[in-house]
Structure 1
Amino acid sequence: MAYLYLDDSKHHPAGFSLAAFVICETDPSGHVEAIFRGLGFDPRNFEYKSSAKMAGDDRLQKLRSAMMHYVGTNCRIAVCVVEGDRRLGPAALRLLHSALSHPNLEGQDHEVFFDEGLFQSPKSAADLASIEGKFTQCRMHFEQDSRKLLGIQLADLVAHTCSTMLLETLGHVTKKVVLEAPGDSAYDGQEVELGFEMWACIRYAFLSMAKQHSKDELGEATVKVFPWGLFIDESTSERVAAAAMRRFGENYLGCIH
């Protein structure tokens, strides 16, 4: 069994919205609560939101990093991209169908939680899922309150992170950061693109499978994310669709030091 949580990040000026599933083998609530409390946040009355201003707030930055580390080491990720945001819910269901065909998820029962606002109502969402007819192994929870579900707060972080990576691919983000790498890493103190730093933190988490019959060294270290961990809705413009496929369609897992 897996626990899947979905949230979205909207970027209308850039021509897309992105939704992300965080996929956990066990209920992540206890682990995430411990992260919150360890940094002085009470999960009963505090909600992590990626949209919050974090510049100059050391605790929030540490919380974001700790949550990102948890995702990168304990979870899997799948994302979908749409034009606007009206098709986020249907696209998320299409993404879920693709993700469930992955060998690690196929043939099992799952709990699936969707944030609020992705469908017109819980009934319309259930009706659409029923029409699809592909989710008999899933217990679906629509219109969930992110304040009460820490798994959705993890999905909020991942949706924002992956959106920033796509914005950079599209040329909308050019920010660079100075890395603080442990030990004798060659990256310590090096200035890199923000998207590279984000990708490096979660690159092992994308739902993927090994490429078959790779003929070069880089190919052997590159896995396929599409179609299990990426769905691009037909509404998406050619420019955004191509950028999403470039950014997420395959993933390099080799050495980056």
Structure 2
Amino acid sequence: MQRNSLNMAQQPSADDKAMVQPKRYALSKALRLLLLLLLSVLVFTAARFGLGNALFKPVEGQIRILQTISNDTASNNTASNDKAHDNNQTVHAQSALQAIYQQQLTAINRVLWLHRNPQYLEAKAQLLELGVRFGFNDKTQALTQANRLYIESITKRPAWPVTYSSLALNKWHLGEFDRDFVTYLVQAHYLGKNVPQVKQVWQYVANSINQASTSELAMLFTELFKEHSAIVAYYQQADNANATPTQQVK
């Protein structure tokens, strides 16, 4: 009798069961809501990234076209032409080009609102640089903003050598020959010494030291790169056909 009494005392009553069931139901419902919320966030993020990529592709193509136009324009500037109708054509072409440029700048800003992917960040930086080439942007403001984008890109993709060489080249055009300038170039060298964009900037430095060893810039570079003389020698021995940049950006 005593054992039966103990067993009966240990068994939950009907009231206890009635209290436990709603708690289990509430917990199960909360878990389902949490999973639904998590799934919604994942779907939204995937959709946002996918839309950003879809919007980026046309911008990427337009940037390539603008880069080609920029290179062609630089080549054509070596020949002078003073005809009035040619000047009028140039004005109309420049106006149309600026409209295209602004459209792409708006488009890349929309893409970056959706996803700040390193590739998208660097695409906007390249657009800002093109704006300087075409005369649409203030040089100092645009290149400083471009470098901020490159630095943000490095935090997301730190092993991409072209980002560092782009930073260094922009600092060249800004006249910022400091320790950061050296650091970016050295990092670019170690990550991709034979990448064309990296070789280009390093050969600018090597040629400046080699061709005008008594100039102010050569003496400055000799001092800045004295701890990296082996790297400088590597590029001095390479193809030195590239000239030092003057008016063009990149």
Q: Relative contact order, CA 8 A, sep 6+: which one is greater?
A: 1
What is the TM-score when the length of structure 1 is the normalising length? 0.26
**Greater radius of gyration (CA):** 2
Higher strand share: 1
What is the TM-score when the length of structure 2 is the normalising length? 0.27
